[in-house]
Structure 1
């Protein structure tokens, strides 16, 4: 039996490694195609490119791993069924689920490793990749001055040269326009010198002139005077830091819920929920104490009582309880005006207070949803690996086709189905249509019944995908 297990496991690991590698290469190429404009022509060095590819590889594993498990399981069971090895093992008394046992153990180990990967490694890789891509996007292309064309990539400077010596870097016929201050510089010869850290460019010019407008000296409607200065040699300094790869502070891209493991997320959720409950309690308490509309009786201060002198003396100590809103007509004009202004102020204050509470509630609810989504996502990848295996392995045993043809088509269709449902669930959570639990586990709700159904059909040797069975059924239906 050990030899059979070893044979089945070997038949599964080979296609899994090949499929996983192909999926990784394909997804990395897709990433490079997306960000090719941010990488090419910037002379960032091979080390930076390798770091970017390393972080990218870690971030695309959640997509490459499920499709590799799905395809390799379909392909392995399909090959065994197509070569009648599956039939031979069944005839010797080995059930389908017993044959799948070594693959199940292998997939469970992968799922456990995937959990630790998504819990500890993936957040850091995601942060590193995000910061590095931003740095590459901010870096300008390699400094290169063409002949006879204005070069405008240096901030505040437009530069044109008639010719240049590629070996020495000497520029001939230099024409420069600067913005701050606004001036024009002409020079017969120029030489570029970079600082030690390449943050500054020093342009050494020889035999030229500087033309500078002096508009602040001119009167209104007068022509602008300008100054003309000749020089034998001068040096201009320009900021060149944008042409270097600047390392951005990673804390700018760090969100707490992305950098925590599931235990830290659980403790943080409890803290946020308790804090939110206290906020809601304070709001209810203030509404109950201050918004009198909720009472069936209204307390009015002494200065707003009626003109009835007998009752006025009684209200010097206690506020009078007004049972009818029509008693307000008995107030004096001054008291009525004061009461109206006070009511308007109170209404605006209650409105602002309620609106601020609503904003705080939305912010807290969004924060709670973010932490819950991050908590559930620690487990969804591991669960998807197991579920897709139990979808692919029985399906391969049913279709009885190996190779790269039908298994690849089925794996692609099923993975697209899984991916679309997963993205749809995440979008529904962001739109507050579904709770984080139902949104993140939406794909599992669809795939688990499919896996159970296919497992039962495979164990019963169902001809679910046998075309001849359907042809015979339609022939009988047509004859009737």
Structure 2
């Protein structure tokens, strides 16, 4: 049996690696819109883009690992079944149950890898992206500065520039409305100016040349005009971003100890309490999906022997989408407080696991599995659940 187990395990590795690479690439491609915006609008360096993509990978791997494990088991058993290797093993007295150890090893390894990502990788990655984004937004003086566009990124200040050279930080035909002092609103016009950054990168000095300041004092109902040769206006870069957003630690960025302490702290605040509980259970329910989906893939792979590999890919995608929809619906119901969050987050694993056990027993005993009837029933259940969810949400 050891030789057979080694053969099966070696057969699992190539589809696992291919799926890991393919799915990670697909998920990273979804970030290209955000990356393109950073490059075009904010002149972000390639190194910063690389770090953002690197820190985003743990978030993707949380879902890539379970799906890759399921697809690896499904495709491997489909190939063995299509080549009549499963039938040959059965005729030699090897039951389907004896083929489970290498599959179990892969599922457990995927579970542990996903658990590492949910507990350590994803929180650290999200915190790193948040700090990197905050540092990027507060250190680049030309953030959001575009020619012939009104820029109101700075609190109380509207800036318009007809021409701008981002390399030399020089501007032409500058118009500024300064409303930081409500009692005296200033309008500044200058034919040229330059951006100067302080050593810490927290503020920007906008130096204007040969311009005019029109100041209106509402209380005194008076207006003054001042001509200048050189005039400096200081702008705080931290006001261009939501500082609290980047300094506040969210539930999905906390360690297990921090999350447990936070749950005890917000126990009397139902909305935050349920959100924190959902995040806690999700750290363990998603890794457990490797076991449930891996088990379900065994009878599916054996039963789909007469179909093309593309059909197997479609079946795998359908099962994972079904799992994701059930998990999302369970999360929504948990956030609404209809039941304990653990029920909604663990229910998909229980359903998939029980379905896998049922189909495995039927397949091992060579009894009809009613596989496609089972899948259609799951589809009807998912449709009814979504309709019920939409009905309850619209009623609120």
User: Does the 8 Å contact 2:204/2:234 carry over to 1?
Assistant: yes
CA spacing shift, 1:413–1:140, aligned 2, 3 Å: farther
Give the CA deviation at 1:84: 1.6
Larger Rg: 1
Pick the aligned partner of 1:427 from 327, 332, 340: 332
- Aligned partner of 1:25 in structure 2 is 25
Change (3 A) 1:196 1:399: same
Q: Distance in 1 between matches of 2:195 and 2:124?
A: 41
Corresponding residue number in structure 1 for 2:125: 125
Matches within 5 A, 1:67-466: 67-129=67-129, 142=143, 144-146=145-147, 152-159=152-159, 171-179=171-179, 180=181, 181-218=184-221, 224=222, 226-231=223-228, 233-242=229-238, 252-255=248-251, 258-260=254-256, 265=260, 363=268, 373-401=278-306, 404-462=309-367, 464=369
- How big is the alpha-carbon RMSD for the aligned residues of Structure 1 and Structure 2? 4.1
Cα distance change of structure 1 residues 388 and 151 upon mapping to structure 2, 3 Å threshold: closer
SS at the partner of 2:213?
strand
Cα distance in 1, alignment partners of residues 166 and 124 from structure 2: 44
Q: Is 2:83 the partner of 1:62?
A: no
Q: Distance in 2 between matches of 1:166 and 1:124?
A: 33
Deviation, 1:394, is 1.4
- Alpha-carbon distance, 1:134 to partner: 7.0
CA contact (8 A) 1:38 1:137 kept: no
TM-score (structure 2 length as normaliser):
0.75
Please list every run of 5 or more consecutive structure 2 residues that lacks an aligned counterpart in the other structure: 373-396
Q: CA deviation at 1:193?
A: 3.4
Is the 2:70–2:297 contact (alpha carbons within 8 Å) kept by the matching residues of 1? yes
Question: Which structure ranks higher in relative contact order (CA pairs < 8 Å, sequence separation ≥ 6)?
Answer: 1
* TM-score calculated relative to the size of structure 1: 0.63
| Distance (Å, rounded) in 1 between the aligned partners of 2:277 and 2:214 | 64
Structure 2 CA distance, aligned partners of 1:186 and 1:409? 62
C-alpha deviation, 1:416, in angstroms: 1.5
Report what 2:381 is aligned to. none
3-state SS of the aligned residue for 2:41? coil
Report the number of matched residues: 368
